[in-house]
Structure 1
């Protein structure tokens, strides 16, 4: 006996799939309602820490992810300037355990596709172009409206619909992501031969300049600056802005700069942060992933926390007889403090940079979070 037999999920990202896959594998009926017209993911690349890789293994997709991504151990810190001097070579904690690398870079749409294909192979129905417009508790479950039309009653509705979650609003949770004061350029370019792990440059014209390999022939690059209104910048101008900024950095940036053109996949977003205080559910509806908590990618734990949310929720749903208060108490006990620790540490790292605090113990804070993440949620 499990707590649910019929589940609806809003959103088709990593949080959604980490609930859908285990439930469908156990025989539950799962419908996913995705606003976009197809499986896609904003951005260029993603860094997955070891605990994210451990979660992907639990979902049965680790072999495919490993084949598509670029695993690595360690982190290189370099100085701005033409020589790009190496400041430190840091070992990274294997937060997923000894069976997984410390981290991996990969192309975001590849991860989205792998997870969606795994889910549909188990019978999950993904409805594209479908906007959730109503969530209503009943005496026996919760009904869902999509595009203004009722689509049925479910044992549970999961809002895994991202930063600007519709489900979060529909069930009356008021917390919203707020800007932290930083903006980030992301671009997807050919990999420079010497880039075999994440490398970060602190200082220069931006707070952070960095890159991560995502495959044998690909990598993604980031530039973190003060938040600005860059959202309407045309591709050619975006490439020129990135080229100008990176003239302060040497090493692999010399090759990267030549590959930043009007045809490069570039996007710009602001860093945001929030954590829902108190319960993430209202009755039989719950939000997880970025809908429940968001943070800057300064520790690269966003995807890991979203995956863990879904796995813990599905584990509890499959091991209990009812969606009741004891289930929600167990869920919140295992997830809220852990997610909050990541959000607070990620925001603190950015705040230290905004304040130009040279005495901040960034390495100590990162190591402390990594130690926490090595424990299973």
Structure 2
């Protein structure tokens, strides 16, 4: 194999899937995560079929599907809840997998954490990389606690605000796209059987997805409000004010939210690092190099695809240098298409009066494109 010992920096979805994919191919893996606690947190997540395929490849799909909600269609509605159209969604992971699954993010991450430990990955929490020094055949790393390690490859999977991106001298940074998102987890109405999106209201759009037997994930896309609101403690009163004007199930969800509901508010940011994502034997994957607005629900899919493709290539017979070049050749066209189409959707949703705007078409076209092998 090109590598036998790898350091993965970041224990979220991307780093966890990469660690599992490598370990299943016989690689010794160390995973470091800056948080002192490692467990799933946050709201809901939409997992498209190509992400489910990656989860199956690393052995966690069955565990995830025990609690998640699969569905093969979605509905577009007017702001008052009246139906515009019901769409079958392409099976981007193959016909034997659901086209889409709604999950509680904590359920997904908990499944990955348990699998990573079971695979024998050496997990160290409250830790990151302080400095590194490369040679032609290894990377020497100094960690933030002063300990050291030597690796055949270092993979940074530490997300949108990547520390590893800075350490590697990559200057491209995330930028706001001009819209923000409110997110909540709420009780799931009995009639909710798939994701639905509401257009034409006072904000850019609203929507929801079932994520467990009794919970759903609801969101509101809005303009960028005061940056002091960013975080998991936005006022519920503000969400109710901004979400007024949407009816149907969404309106009922909003009205029924308990006063102690956790409301997460974020400006949506995007980044695409055009240059190669690697420097010698160090590489970045996932949101650290290609984060997109969540308008086609392909963020997790692009990250998990990165992980399984990288593991496949660096455990082949060729040298690391060739494997990393091949990785870029396979991943960049796919990632670029998703990101550019997601940004186009954001632009159309911010400016719906744009001549020729057709969000439904671009969503369908993107998912159809992604049915090809990653």
TM-score range, shorter-chain basis?
Answer: over 0.9
Q: Which residue of 1 aligns with 2:249?
A: 252
CA contact (8 A) 2:207 2:250 kept: no
Separation of aligned partners in 1, 2:212 and 2:231: 27
Distance 1:358 1:70, change over 3 A: farther
1:59 aligns with 2:55: no
1:194 positional shift: 1.4
Q: Which residue of 1 aligns with 2:156?
A: 159
Separation of aligned partners in 2, 1:28 and 1:126: 14
CA contact (8 A) 2:21 2:307 kept: no
Separation of aligned partners in 2, 1:63 and 1:234: 32
1:150 positional shift: 4.0
CA contact (8 A) 1:207 1:224 kept: yes
Q: Which residue of 2 aligns with 1:69?
A: 68
CA contact (8 A) 1:61 1:114 kept: yes
> What is the correspondence of 1:191-270 to structure 2 with a 5 Å cutoff?
191-232=188-229, 238-270=235-267
Which moves more between the two structures, 48-57 or 315-324? 315-324
Separation of aligned partners in 1, 2:40 and 2:203: 26
1:29 positional shift: 1.3
CA contact (8 A) 1:185 1:222 kept: yes
Q: Which residue of 2 aligns with 1:338?
A: 334
Select which of 167, 172, 181 maps to 2:169: 172
Distance 1:124 1:236, change over 3 A: closer
Q: Which residue of 2 aligns with 1:13?
A: 12
Separation of aligned partners in 2, 1:328 and 1:54: 22
1:68-89 per-position Cα deviation (integer Å, ceiling 9, x unaligned): 10111111111113xx111111
Separation of aligned partners in 1, 2:21 and 2:230: 41
1:176-227 per-position Cα deviation (integer Å, ceiling 9, x unaligned): 1100000000000110111110010012121010000001100010000011
Helix, strand or coil at the partner of 1:182 = strand
Separation of aligned partners in 2, 1:335 and 1:22: 17
Distance 1:254 1:199, change over 3 A: same
1:358 positional shift: 5.6
- Give RMSD over aligned pairs: 1.7
CA contact (8 A) 2:210 2:217 kept: yes
Q: Which residue of 2 aligns with 1:361?
A: 358
Helix, strand or coil at the partner of 2:306 = helix
Q: TM-score, structure 1 length as denominator?
A: 0.95
Separation of aligned partners in 1, 2:342 and 2:110: 28
Distance 1:197 1:358, change over 3 A: farther
1:19 positional shift: 1.5
Helix, strand or coil at the partner of 1:68 = coil
1:247-306 per-position Cα deviation (integer Å, ceiling 9, x unaligned): 311211343123323321221111111111120000000000000101100000000000
Q: Which residue of 1 aligns with 2:36?
A: 37
CA contact (8 A) 2:40 2:110 kept: no
Distance 1:142 1:100, change over 3 A: same
CA contact (8 A) 1:206 1:225 kept: yes
Helix, strand or coil at the partner of 2:45 = strand
Which moves more between the two structures, 251-260 or 10-19? 251-260
Q: Which residue of 1 aligns with 2:296?
A: 299
Q: TM-score, structure 2 length as denominator?
A: 0.96
Distance 1:70 1:152, change over 3 A: same
**4+ aligned runs moved over 4 Å, structure 1:** 233-237
1:272 aligns with 2:272: no
Unaligned segments of structure 1, at least 5 residues: none
Select which of 77, 82, 87 maps to 1:85: 82
Helix, strand or coil at the partner of 1:253 = helix
Separation of aligned partners in 2, 1:282 and 1:369: 30
Which moves more between the two structures, 94-103 or 134-143? 134-143
Distance 1:233 1:153, change over 3 A: closer
Select which of 133, 137, 140 maps to 1:136: 133
CA contact (8 A) 2:278 2:284 kept: yes
Helix, strand or coil at the partner of 1:252 = helix
1:116 aligns with 2:117: no
